Structure 1
Amino acid sequence: MGSDFYQQSILPYAGIIIKICRAYTHSQEDFDDYYQEVCLQIWRSKDSFNAGSQWSTWVYKVALNVCLTNLKQRKQGEKHFVSDALPDEVQDDLKAFNSDDINVLYNAIKHLSEIDRAVILLYLEEKSYSEIAEIIGANTNSIGVRITRIKERLNKFINAQE
C-alpha cells in the first residue's frame, strides 16, 4: 500500500475505522489485527469504489464487512492475521477513546447484535438514515425505528451496570 494512498484515503477516516473495529473486538491485539485488515481491504478494493457514493460510505462498508467476516472466522476458530504496530497517527486517535463514559458505551454496544452495532455506530457518526440503510443494506424507513429500539436497549444495559 503506497503511503500517498494511506495518507489521503485511509488516514482521514481512521476515526471511522477505529470506532468500527473497537465495537467488534475485545482485545488490543484483535483491534490491531482488524484495523490492519480493514486498511488492507480498502486498498485492495479501491478500484471497485462506486463514485456515486461518498468515500466515507465506502470506508464504512469495507470496515463493517471486514469486521463481520473476521468475527465469523474467529467464532469458527480460523485466524488469518499478522499483527504489526499501528502507525503513530492511529495511536494518537486511540488515546481519545480512553474516557470512562466512552468505555461504558462501547461495552454496551458490544452486547448488541452485529448489525445493530453497525447501525448505532453509523448513527453516532451522524450519518443520515438513507446512508445507514445503504451501508448495511436495509430499508431506509426501518432505520429510525431500529435506532429508537437500540437506544432503549443501550439505556437499559447501561443503567443495569450502574
Structure 2
Amino acid sequence: MSETTTNKMNQEEMFREAVLENDRRIYSICCHYFGPGDEAKDAYQEILLKIWLNIINFRGDSQLKTWISRIAVNVCMTFLSKRSKKSSVFVPLSYIDCDSKTGDGDDNHEEEEAKFRFFEEFKKKLSSPDKILVTLYLDEIDYAEISLITGLSEGNARAKIHRIKKQIKKEWEDKYGTR
C-alpha cells in the first residue's frame, strides 16, 4: 500500500472520529452564532470541510476538541464578517436547543421570550471578542480551553466572563428588578 493511500485512510479515520466526538459541539457553536437554520448548517458544512482538509496536519499541541472549537469559532466569525449589512444573530444555548422543537403549551414561554429579547439587546453591546467568550462559556467549555481557543490568558478570560456576567445581571435587575 502506498504512503498516499495510508495517509488517506488515516485522514478518513481521524476525521470520522473527530466528527463523532465533536458533532454536537460544532453544531451548537454554529447555532450560537446563527440560530438553528440554513446559515448554521452552511457554517457547519464549512467547518467539516476545514477539519477534513487539516486533520492530517493536527499536531496535538492542544486537545482535539479545542482545535475543532477554534476552527468552528473562526469559520463562524468569517461567515459573520462576510454578511452584507444584516445584523448578526448570536443566540445563547440556554434559549435555543438545536436538537429540539419548541413546546406548544410551555407556561414559561413569555418569560423565555423576555429573556431572549433582553439577551439579544444586551449582546448587541458586546464586542466580537466578548461574544466569542460568552459563546464558549455558554457551551460549557472550561476556562483552560477558552484560553487556548481565544489566545487570552486563563485569568483574563475568567475575569472578562465574570465582568460580562455582572454587567448582564445589573442590566437585568435595572430593567426587571431582582428575581
TM-score w.r.t. structure 1 length?
A: 0.70
**What amino acid is aligned across from residue 62 of structure 2 in structure 1?**
S
Contact 2:28–2:139, Cα closer than 8 Å, also in 1: no
Q: How much identity, in percent, do the aligned residues show? A: 29
- Between stretches 109-118 and 55-64, larger displacement belongs to 109-118
Q: CA RMSD in A?
A: 3.6
Q: 2:33 aligns with which of 14, 18, 24?
A: 24
Structure 1 residue 49 displacement after superposition: 1.7
1:118 maps to which residue?
132
Where does the alignment leave 5 or more consecutive residues of structure 2 unmatched?
1-7, 87-96, 104-108
How many residues get paired? 147
1:64-143 aligned within 5 A: 64-75=73-84, 94-96=98-100, 98=102, 101=112, 104=115, 108=119, 111=124, 112-143=126-157
Which amino acid in the other structure matches residue 117 of structure 1?
A: K
Deviations 1:131-155 (A, max 9, x none): 2111111122211210112223444
Which amino acid is 1:135 matched to?
I
Report the CA distance shift for 1:14/1:149 in structure 2 as closer, same or farther (over 3 A): same
8 A contact 1:23–1:117 mirrored in 2: no
The equivalent position to 1:42 in structure 2, one of 19, 34, 51, is 51
In our comparison, the structure showing a higher alpha carbon Rg is 2
Unaligned runs of 5+ in 1: 78-92
CA distance in 2, matches of 1:71, 1:155: 27
Report SS of the residue matched to 1:45: helix
Contact kept in structure 2, 1:37 and 1:66, CA below 8 Å = yes
Task: Answer yes or no: is the 8 Å Cα contact 2:14–2:56 preserved in 1.
Answer: no
User: Is the 8 Å Cα contact of residues 60 and 135 (structure 1) preserved in structure 2?
Assistant: yes
Say if 1:155 and 1:126 are closer, same or farther in 2 by CA, change over 3 A.
same
